[in-house]
Structure 1
């Protein structure tokens, strides 16, 4: 009986949801824009802080003049980092987007491109900051992120 009880406890511990995303009903619905108002983590795991990723392609950091192309590359770079930790966009808790000379047209492009990455809920908490320029001439967008990776708990064999 003791073994059964410990096994059930272990099963529940592994199935506990570590990440929570909330959108209070009294606030506007942010899901069409692919973000949540809040996100939280309440279990043992690893936070992954991803530095601002620009739209610079490859090691040469080649910058297109196209905002859409830079957005696609910045998001691809975020996914590359997530892949290196064996986690997915759904593990991202918070993103910050810096857009040079922000406009409604750029917001539309951002939403179209992020929809290709975050195809399903949950969406991360998000802040978009319009800026006059970024670190390198020609950079039009920079995106940083904080992700959460659940640590798998290793259990020792049950003893009699």
Structure 2
């Protein structure tokens, strides 16, 4: 049996969390997201925790918060909103279970109950040595 969110419009994403699988929503993601036919997609490059000046906090939670603010700015530039994000991939340097609370809080603050599909990839380092977190997104652009 599929548990899907109601479609709000013809271009709305449908969230699918099969009842036969563990509910992933407490961990800040959905099992799958269905993109409507004929949708235009945008791919947002990895957003790190740098502010507009390029400064990067050494604090993991601060970087995560800034990365999601940066993602929101990228969505705004596309004319999209968080509910248009179908898939996230997050990269975490030296991931351990203590970081999941920070990650789950950030994603639920941005997406609420409309959680996109998501994959977390632990990595030894990112493009810039002080970076601890990066998030990239697949976005279904709203119809004009």
TM-score by length of structure 2 reads: 0.88
Cα distance, 1:19 vs structure 2: 1.9
Unpaired runs of 5+ residues, structure 1, are 1-13, 153-160
1:30 aligns with 2:28: no
Q: What is the alpha-carbon distance in structure 2 between the residues aligned to residue 51 and residue 130 of structure 1?
A: 17
- Counterparts of 1:108-123 in structure 2 under 5 Å? 108-119=101-112, 121-123=113-115
CA deviation digits over 1:13-57, x for unaligned, max 9?
x94354221011111101112211111212333211000000111
The alignment yields a C-alpha RMSD, in angstroms, of 1.6
- Counterparts of 1:8-157 in structure 2 under 5 Å? 15-58=9-52, 60-119=53-112, 121-152=113-144
TM-score by length of structure 1 reads: 0.80
Larger radius of gyration: 1
Q: Which moved more, 1:105-114 or 1:87-96?
A: 105-114
Q: Secondary structure at the match of 2:50?
A: coil
Q: What is the alpha-carbon distance in structure 2 between the residues aligned to residue 84 and residue 115 of structure 1?
A: 21
Q: Secondary structure at the match of 1:143?
A: strand
User: How many residue pairs end up in the alignment?
Assistant: 137
Q: Secondary structure at the match of 1:78?
A: helix
Q: What is the alpha-carbon distance in structure 1 between the residues aligned to residue 55 and residue 36 of structure 2?
A: 39
Contact 1:39 1:125 in 2 (8 A): yes
Q: What is the alpha-carbon distance in structure 1 between the residues aligned to residue 9 and residue 91 of structure 2?
A: 36
Q: What is the alpha-carbon distance in structure 1 between the residues aligned to residue 101 and residue 28 of structure 2?
A: 12
